[in-house]
A = this chain, B = another copy of it.
Amino acid sequence: MTFSLLTPAVVALICVLIGIIFRNSRKTPKSELSTTSKKAVPGPWREDIKDGTDLHAEEEDDDHEWNELAHIPFSTERYSEEDMVKRSKDFYELLKKRRSVRFISDEPVPREVIDNVIKTAGTSPSGAHTEPWTFVVVNDKEVKHKIREIIEEEEEMNYMKRMGDRWVNDLKRMRTNWIKEYLDSAPYLILIFKQVYGILPDGKKKTHYYNEISVSIACGILLAALENVGLVTVTTTPLNCGPRLRVLLERPPNEKLLLLLPVGYPSKDATVPNFSRKPLDDIMVVI
């Protein structure tokens, strides 16, 4: 039994600790204690918030009720090992063909396909199951053009003065500049907003833990879904355009633009940079 293991030394240690607790707790009135513990945000914690790395949230699946959720049995399809290997290989073969494509044809794409890929992205996990994403799908020609105007205007300024020389040079060799024809030509622009907080029924703000990571994960699933139907896109994060695009698209202040994906078929003369990906040994370490 555990108690037989409580050697005198351990018992003494526990007694000392209990003593310290009692001494401390007598110092402060209880009301102050509870106030403090609610408000206390220690130094390291803030540091963690800043870079986001060391914050914690499990990408939980719950609902928005306060009550504890019922838990239900879970099972999933079980494939043979042979099937698993084959399925994993096939999926890799499919996705390794994906490239970021900036030459997008203006041919129309069935709207049902767009609905389905966004529904698929919506199956993504999210911090405390907040589902902090809004996918704004722009098909309207005029709105697409307004988006292009805003982005090109800001991008030109970015290139001309905001971006450091090194960054401009890094992008130069990829023939990237501020002319974004695909913003007009792509049949759909998907603008992905992260909801940095939610609004509860009583009007109070609801924290969206890890909203940026969650929405980025959803975007990864969206990219896989697009590749699966033969559509192309390029993952972009328009610099400094967030606020203007948010206003143009009439999104509320709790939403911030994370990514913009122009979606369509590749144009016939589409090209991509001739690059290679890191081999498995460079990205995986097995212990």
Encode contact with B along A260-287: 1 for CB under 8 Å, 0 otherwise: 0000011001111111111010011111
B27 touches A36 (CB 8 A): yes
CB pair B68 A91 closer than 8 Å: no
| Cross-interface CB contact of A124 among B69, B113, B220, cutoff 8 Å | B220
Count of chain A residues with Cβ under 8 Å from any Cβ of B?
176
Nearest CB of B to A213, in Å: 5
User: Most B CB atoms within 10 A — which of A100, A237, A241, A242?
Assistant: A237
CA distance A272 to B60 in the complex (A): 10
A54 contacts across to B, CB distance below 8 A: 239-243, 257
A225 neighbours in B (Cβ, 8 Å): 88, 91-92, 95
Contacts A72-B272, A171-B128, A284-B115 known; A228 to B56 CB distance under 8 Å? Answer: no
* B58–A237 CB distance below 8 A: yes
Q: Mark A1-31, 1 if CB is under 8 A from B, else 0.
A: 0100111011001100110110111111000
6 closest residue pairs by CB, A with B: A220-B220, A56-B239, A216-B216, A88-B116, A59-B235, A17-B17
Q: Is the CB of A286 within 8 A of B139?
A: yes
